[in-house]
């Protein structure tokens, strides 16, 4: 007896659910075709799951009208035409194009107003009415940067004028005393060098609190080789203090680099080996310091030893020091000691300027009977200035520096045999990686050196050639008073740990002693591979002069391994 009523209730409930879940179509219409065009140009959601959703959309549409200047528009209540259709009628009335906002220069500086308007008068400024929200947000953000993060702006005394303009007064509510940074706390790498906070990040205690600037400066941590930002800074506000939390991790930035090169001697037809060791230690004392040691031995019985120490922010000042010692011994002909001391100033995370002094002492090792007349004992004192720009890309393990510009000029005098000669030198090195996409890139480097003097000695010429200059030639087998070279590579990355590349190099050099002017070319290929031991690089290149044909016997093979620890 009770089964039939239960069945009827079930059927009725199904119909009820279907009715309530039916889509409602919302239509908004104006009083005439001109208003309908305006309404159609303003996008709104027409299909809704229920009446409440449609009501919210009408309120949103009214807000859009006010933003566009239709502040006198009238909206009728929602009219249900049938079970699935809703109709709203609107009278747009007149449109206001501009708003005149009155303000006080003592509260909001005129320089801040200049960010949002180019029509500024004695006590007010004018902007298009649709830009009102954007302008208020910009002014509010600027006030926050000036140390007032909790102030809010609002418009009061809104008056409608007879023309298409509106007058309003800009007032600042919830005015809080300007906040300064009271404390900076580092999480993750508590021993992060404090001088880098003050001079590198430029986040100083007692300075005006500026959240956007703090975030911007914290991102520059990625330019440091020994530290990295874990996440965005966090701010703790209390009644009378402001504390900044920086989240920093310490990176492994020490590296050991070495390579072995070999090629055949044209005279003896024997294989000759060369190589070098390069040790770089960074921030092991948590001071931001760096130490670099290079030892190189090449096929020409030339040995090079170089030590470089970089000490940033000496004694808590913005100045740093760079000290360098270089020793060169060329077979049994001569030896040269090069001492260099510079002070530098870090303009910003990517730019440095240097000024310093360099002393060179060279000795002839040959007996007077066998001595080369162009090899003499001499000493030189240079004064130099230098500029360096370096941009890192930490997201790439294979290529962690994307751009470099290093330029130095020197002036001084060389003394030998009671003769003093004025000399000038320059050095230029620049490269950039052009990332075409995630897998393809082009590497371009330009390197140049010049020594200008009335006379020249053999043991003061620059030596170049090999893996770090023009590839396909023996290490430091070329001597010059002036040279310029271009290194190019097309690189293809299979993944984040392996890539292959081409080698196309060209160089021009002059030797004033021998009156030699020559063009050089190097062609080859190579690859790089991340292994458990470090970054392994292989280069195969063949070098030739302008008037020389290619010989396979002139090819040079270079292997290097860079280990990070």
pLDDT tens string 132-182: 888 888 887 777 766 666 667 778 888 887 777 888 888 876 555 677 888
Per-chain mean pLDDT for the chain: 86
pLDDT tier at 265, thresholds 50, 70, 90: low
Percent over 90 (pLDDT), the chain: 38
**Residue 200: CB atoms within 10 Å:** 22
pLDDT recorded at residue 564? 82
Q: Quote the pLDDT of residue 362.
A: 93
Q: Can you give the length of the chain in residues?
A: 565
Give percent of the chain with pLDDT exceeding 70. Answer: 90
Distance CA 200, CA 288 (A): 11
E runs forming strands in 393-530: 401-416, 419-435, 440-453, 462-464, 478-480, 482-495, 498-511, 516-530
Let me know if 344 is exposed, middle or buried by CB neighbors in 10 A (0-12, 13-18, 19+).
buried
Residue 11 scores a pLDDT above 70 = no
What pLDDT, on a 0 to 100 scale, did the predictor assign at position 83? Answer: 83
Helices (H), 74-208: 110-113, 132-145, 194-195
- Contacts (Cβ under 8 Å, ≥6 apart) of 32: none
In whole angstroms, what separates CA 217 from the centre of its chain? 12
Structure tokens at 399: 């290529």
Look at residue 61 and give its three-state secondary structure: helix
CA distances from 374 to 194, 364, 370, 458, 513 (A): 52, 10, 12, 5, 9
Q: Would you say residue 410 has pLDDT above 80? A: yes
Mean pLDDT of the region 528-535: 87
Lowest mean pLDDT among 127-136, 263-272, 416-425: 263-272
Fill in the DSSP letter of residue 198. I
Cβ neighbourhood burial of 8 (10 Å; 0-12, 13-18, 19+): exposed
pLDDT at 151: 67
Angle at 123 between CA 117 and CA 125, to 5 degrees: 20
> Are the beta carbons of 45 and 57 closer than 8 angstroms?
yes
Overall average pLDDT of the 539-564 stretch: 84
pLDDT value, residue 404: 96
Report which listed range, 230-234, 312-316, 506-510, is most confident. 506-510
Which pLDDT value is given to residue 19?
43
- Confidence category of residue 277, pLDDT binned at 50, 70, 90: confident
d(CA 525, CA 490) in angstroms, rounded, equals 9
Cα-based distances in Å from 441 to 222, 371, 399, 433: 22, 50, 11, 7
Q: At what angle do helices 211-219 and 132-145 cross, to 10 degrees?
A: 70
- Does pLDDT of 472 surpass 80? yes
Q: Average pLDDT, stretch 278-285? A: 92
Measure the CA–CA gap between 150 and 138, rounded to whole angstroms. 14
pLDDT tens, 198-207?
A: 899 888 888 8
More confident residue, 264 or 487: 487
- 470-493: b (≥16 Cβ within 10 Å) or e: bbbbbbbbbbbbbbbbebebebeb
CB 402 within 8 A of CB 395: no
pLDDT digits (tens, 9 = 90+) for 227-264: 989 888 888 877 778 889 999 999 888 988 876 655 55
- Give yes or no for residue 492 having a pLDDT over 80: yes
Dist. CA 142–CA 66, nearest whole Å: 25
Q: Is the pLDDT of residue 7 over 50?
A: no
pLDDT digits (tens, 9 = 90+) for 26-50: 999 988 888 888 888 888 998 998 8
Residue-level pLDDT at 319 = 95
Q: Which residues of 275-288 are buried (b: 16+ CB within 10 A; e: fewer)?
A: bbebebbbbeeeeb
Check residue 4 and give its pLDDT: 46
| Residues paired with 310 in a beta bridge | 290, 322
Q: Per-residue pLDDT averaged across 333-343, rounded?
A: 94
Query: Which tens digits make up the pLDDT trace of 353-375?
Result: 999 999 999 998 887 656 677 88
Mean pLDDT of the region 48-75: 88
pLDDT of residue 330: 84
pLDDT confidence band for 331 (50 / 70 / 90): confident
Residue 55, Ramachandran bin (φ over 0: left; ψ between -120 and 50: alpha; else beta): alpha
pLDDT in tens, 366-400: 876 566 778 889 999 999 999 999 998 877 778 88
Over 50: is that where the pLDDT of 17 sits?
no
**Secondary element (H or E) of residue 33:** helix 33-41
């Amino acid at each position: 007896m009770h089964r039939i009523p239960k069945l009827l209730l079930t059927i009725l409930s199904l119909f009820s659910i279907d009715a309530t879940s039916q889509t409602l179509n919302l239509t908004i219409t104006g009083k005439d075709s001109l208003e309908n065009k305006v309404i159609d140009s303003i996008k709104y959601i027409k299909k809704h799951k229920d009446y409440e959703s449609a009501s919210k959309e009408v309120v949103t549409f009214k807000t859009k009208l006010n933003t566009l200047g239709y502040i006198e528009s009238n909206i009728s209540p929602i009219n249900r035409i049938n079970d699935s259709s809703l109709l709203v009628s609107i009278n747009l009335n007149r449109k206001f194009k501009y708003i005149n906002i009155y303000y006080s220069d003592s509260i909001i500086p005129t320089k801040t107003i200049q960010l949002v308007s180019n029509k500024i008068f004695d006590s007010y400024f004018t902007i298009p009415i649709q830009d009102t929200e954007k302008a208020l947000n910009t002014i509010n953000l600027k006030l926050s940067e000036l140390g007032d993060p909790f102030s809010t702006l609002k418009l009061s005394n809104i008056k409608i004028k007879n023309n298409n303009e509106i007058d309003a007064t800009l007032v600042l509510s919830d005015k809080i005393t300007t906040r300064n940074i009271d404390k900076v706390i580092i999480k993750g790498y508590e021993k992060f060098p404090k001088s880098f906070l003050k001079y590198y990040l430029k986040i100083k205690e007692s300075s005006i609190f500026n959240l956007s600037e703090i975030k911007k400066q914290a991102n520059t941590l990625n330019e440091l080789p020994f530290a990295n930002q874990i996440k965005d800074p966090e701010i703790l506000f209390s009644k009378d203090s402001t504390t900044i939390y920086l989240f920093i991790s310490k990176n492994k930035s020490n590296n050991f680099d070495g390579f072995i090169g070999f090629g055949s001697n044209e005279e003896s037809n024997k294989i000759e080996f060369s190589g070098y060791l390069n040790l770089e230690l960074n921030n092991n004392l948590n001071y931001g310091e760096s130490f670099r040691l290079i030892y190189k031995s090449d096929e020409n019985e030339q040995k090079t030893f170089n030590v470089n120490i970089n000490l940033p922010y000496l004694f808590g000042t913005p100045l740093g020091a760079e000290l360098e010692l270089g020793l060169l011994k060329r077979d049994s002909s001569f030896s040269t000691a090069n001492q260099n001391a510079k002070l530098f100033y870090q303009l910003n995370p990517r730019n440095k300027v240097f000024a310093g002094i360099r002393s060179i002492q060279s000795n002839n090792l040959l007996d007077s009977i066998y001595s080369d007349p162009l090899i003499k004992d001499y000493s030189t004192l240079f004064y130099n200035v230098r500029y360096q720009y370096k941009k890192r890309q930490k997201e790439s393990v294979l290529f962690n520096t994307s751009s470099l510009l290093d330029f130095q000029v020197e002036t001084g005098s060389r003394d030998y045999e009671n003769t003093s000669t004025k000399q000038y030198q320059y050095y230029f090195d620049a490269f950039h990686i052009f990332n075409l996409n995630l897998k393809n890139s082009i590497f371009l480097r330009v390197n140049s050196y010049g020594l200008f003097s009335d006379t020249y000695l053999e043991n003061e010429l620059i030596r170049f050639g090999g893996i770090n200059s023009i590839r396909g030639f023996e290490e430091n087998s070329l001597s010059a008073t002036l040279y310029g070279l271009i290194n190019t590579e097309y690189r293809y990355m299979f993944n984040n740990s392996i890539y292959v590349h081409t080698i196309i190099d060209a160089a021009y050099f002059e030797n004033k002693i021998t009156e030699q002017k020559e063009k050089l070319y190097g062609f080859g290929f190579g690859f790089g591979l991340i292994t458990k031991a470090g970054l392994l690089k292989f280069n195969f290149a063949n070098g030739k002069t302008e008037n020389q044909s290619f010989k396979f016997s002139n090819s040079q093979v270079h292997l290097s391994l860079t280990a990070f620890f």
